Structure 1
């Protein structure tokens, strides 16, 4: 059964790629007080932009370091590449297959002491696959 799902996903991808590349069409839509031209995004571009890949995402510090919930950090979130996107099969999920550690300097704010700079390490996704 997993082989059949993989084959079905492959056929869906192949069917999409086999379609002729149609240039974006212009459609006049009524905007109430006039009309405006709307560009249609071609299927290949929609597929490519939505398929599983690493994209920049703002990640909350406390979600990565739950043991630090009693402290405040500045900034409170950091920008990291994380796997996201569609896989073409409900049973597959976009997962990291290669990661690197990135160490960032943040300001840790203590309730009693003065704020201090700390270095925290985060996992950044480099390569993603549907699994």
Structure 2
């Protein structure tokens, strides 16, 4: 049996970065635990002070297929290239009748409108992709 994976990002603003990644991936914020109507109710019950409530954000695939993303607040800024990054395979899952390149271009434009920055466009051995940075500078590729 395979082991489930969670991908963790360090972030300055987990809530804002979570909004970007929800839009980028079609994810949703993880619902509060059973027995709680909201995250505020859960955090109240657990005694988490209000000034610490924005220190983390968890995102999930609403279909339950993709890995959970966990964004944790850290004080230091990003200083180097990621050693691991996400590749969004938009072209491979383009709707019928939509050319893969058009799906990639449209998704890149959407991410740029949400605060991403295009770093480079690459093509190697017939494979092409666009390298971007999310609003906090984390690299990702759209192919």
Q: TM-score, normalised by structure 1?
A: 0.26
The structure that is strand-richer by fraction is 1
Q: TM-score, normalised by structure 2?
A: 0.24
Bigger Rg, which one: 1
**Higher RCO (CA-CA < 8 Å; seq separation 6+):** 2
